[in-house]
Structure 1
């Protein structure tokens, strides 16, 4: 099925608008919460989330990606599969919630938070809530209804600001985070179900479930491996370094991911939906990937260098003085994650869109094993050693994800946009300039802001010196001007 350019442009536009608004709300919320709660509170929630996200992998079982990726013959065909996916998700969610409820105390000990079994029981209600929204999210993406999704996401992100923050001021406890997250998911479930034009039918077919399982099985393996990559560190750090350092570790990752997702979250879901539609057109498939790499690299390459150079400023502003120990991890993690977006993330989506999630699973498992070995080996070392070790190991995922994507998806290294090399050159010059400025004028908040502005100017001035990137930037400026003129007309 051919995707209309207008659909993709509209989807990216609304995704970008959503992410800009969300990223204005989320940092404000986190800036407040990080100053009201100690790192241990975030460490406890990280351990509990590890449990619920593990269970959630089995409740979704790859149904979301199947709905987005699969080409249905007609609306009735889609309605049938959506209903089967929804009821399968719901029943699995109920079953797994009961399992967690009766084993919560043992799970608490296993995850390094002994005595918090009741918290696990209450927080795990989130599994039941997400069972009502999970499949609906996929339907919205399938239909490129990103405007509706944007409004829903913004509404959900406002919940922590209006619920969690007041509760935190009152309780100064992790319970505020628990209640806020549950409230947000409840609102999302209700709005998604009521606003959707996709009605769930009281219908079930084991034959349809069987047809989905071949794809969902591979997709679930990929999801499990992704969970291992994200949470093997939570398990090891929680057991050997405690909730304090686990809080530093997970909050640093969350903070960095929130900054980066301003770019990635607004484009990656659109990329996957587009590639899924173009999976049988190799030329269009490769062209779409190159377009997204070129567009995203313009911002992610310098962003990674900027986070590394201005790590102390970012940590101080977004988290506060009590999190200063996390600055080194924020800088290193920000750099590796930004630079991997155009290789690891896009490579992963291209493999799944081609129906080959098993290759993502293989790459993730290598990462999980490496990370487990390294983290266990340094379990008694300092947080700085942990930061550098995680940084080094993470590059493997970038290399293997994109390397496998070239085999599975027909990508070639020579097809990489030439602009990426120019971005890297300009970002290195920018980073060295920023480091020198901080050394000369100091690194207070005001001085860092001045240095950041100078670095942004340096980056774009260098890009304007090259024909390829100059045309790209001028084209982008022209597009923004035309859209602004149309909105004012």
Structure 2
């Protein structure tokens, strides 16, 4: 088997397992979120949203771009892994101590006394997560997403059960806090047992310098990105009620559950795949093109379809008390539709070692985004105004992220738009049809309406794909067929054994 065929099979397998991991994990987390949304009140989610801002920013310092350097390198040594491990662990401990003593100041800023104890407890996830970073990197480098799938699914399920139990016992926001802690604990524990890797007692200064040279720009980019990503929660938490932040937080979490399932799968698989093709311009462009077209073929209808069914889906699953989050969720889905495009275009910059451009683009995008946010605050456009600023910036960011794609991979922004044109058009038509069915045609209850909307959306999208001869439909079908056959054969074998 030649290199291209082997890589293709490895990529498809990786995509399947990575996507399966994200979907299965997110389904479990979604079920848990639905149950918790019915057991808790919006204010609980608002309080968690306030503290997760600082956890997310701190985590950026822990996962500082060094692990990306490990994935990119073909021949990482034991000293490399151990050096990065100890640096990440030291950063995590230092940040936890900082958070511990900053808790009172954060509490005063948000005018929420409960935040002091919440921050001091949930901060331990930084240290726990540091133990799993290298373990996860090793699996990604080997493209062993099957093992990662099992670990993440087991961790999500276990942490979810604990959170639901605590919520039933009246723990309130603490149920959400311990869900985060146990999720990271189970992941780190299972990753360690699975890999059986332990760090050597060594810290190589030369390795550190090498990874720092590659990773500091990625770290700075991630820090800027996370600061921008979390700024809405800071503004809403400071200017509005915790209940309002709860509506926004849950809408954002639902959007992230959907958008990140695909985006993180694509990003996780495309980075090592494109890294292996970095020295062959022809293969690099072909791989780049296929990943973008196939990712968008799934993402666009998925995110736009969620917009259409939101008025039915959210009251059905979360309850009528969460109806105020419907509009927030719909706006966020418009921004989330482009996430895979952002991830893949940024991966090319990392693959080519152009972390300088990565940082430059991040700064430009965030300056544009912050300008839009300031305008919405000054004009007092409310929470919806902040979210529309996010949408506008997401679409501007596509052109910024892809501006060097022609030079680096001979695949320009205009070529990308041309390649995804049919998919975008079909997705919009499908979304309009599904929305009309849900709001103006069917007099049924939420459950039956949702089923009809989903089935109609899938049927319409497949029909449009066949009508306009969208090649990605055939590609996805060819990926799914072997899986279906394998499942049917396994089911048949189990049936014969049972007989």
TM-score (norm 2): 0.90
Question: Which residue is 2:160 aligned to?
Answer: 161
Question: Which residue is 2:151 aligned to?
Answer: 152
Question: Which residue is 1:23 aligned to?
Answer: 26
Equivalent residues in 2 for 1:212-361, closer than 5 Å: 212-338=211-337, 340-361=338-359
Question: Which residue is 1:13 aligned to?
Answer: 16
1:373-432 Cα shifts (integer Å, max 9, x gaps): 433443444333333333233322223122244444442246438662222222222222
SS of the aligned residue for 1:171 comes to coil
Q: Any conservation in 2 of the 1:130–1:189 contact (CA below 8 Å)? A: yes
Q: 1:363, 1:14 → 2: CA distance?
A: 31
Moved more, 218-227 or 278-287: 278-287
- Flag the 1:35–1:407 CA change in 2: closer, same or farther, 3 A: farther
Count of residues paired in the alignment: 484
1:222 shift after superposition: 1.6
Question: Which residue is 2:463 aligned to?
Answer: 461
SS of the aligned residue for 1:226 comes to helix
- Flag the 1:433–1:239 CA change in 2: closer, same or farther, 3 A: same
Question: Which residue is 1:375 aligned to?
Answer: 373
Question: Which residue is 2:402 aligned to?
Answer: 402
1:248 shift after superposition: 1.8
Question: Which residue is 1:136 aligned to?
Answer: 135
1:445-466 Cα shifts (integer Å, max 9, x gaps): 1224213312221111121123
- Flag the 1:323–1:180 CA change in 2: closer, same or farther, 3 A: same
- Flag the 1:474–1:212 CA change in 2: closer, same or farther, 3 A: closer
Q: 2:228, 2:408 → 1: CA distance?
A: 22
Q: Any conservation in 1 of the 2:224–2:366 contact (CA below 8 Å)? A: yes
Q: 2:185, 2:418 → 1: CA distance?
A: 46
Question: Which residue is 1:48 aligned to?
Answer: 51
- Flag the 1:386–1:315 CA change in 2: closer, same or farther, 3 A: farther
- Flag the 1:328–1:20 CA change in 2: closer, same or farther, 3 A: same
Q: 2:405, 2:317 → 1: CA distance?
A: 35
- Flag the 1:478–1:92 CA change in 2: closer, same or farther, 3 A: closer
Moved more, 299-308 or 378-387: 378-387
1:345 shift after superposition: 2.0
Q: 2:287, 2:256 → 1: CA distance?
A: 24
Q: 2:344, 2:115 → 1: CA distance?
A: 38
- Flag the 1:150–1:472 CA change in 2: closer, same or farther, 3 A: closer
Moved more, 177-186 or 465-474: 465-474
Q: Any conservation in 2 of the 1:37–1:173 contact (CA below 8 Å)? A: yes
Q: Which runs of 5+ in 2 are unaligned?
A: 494-499
Q: Which runs of 5+ in 1 are unaligned?
A: none
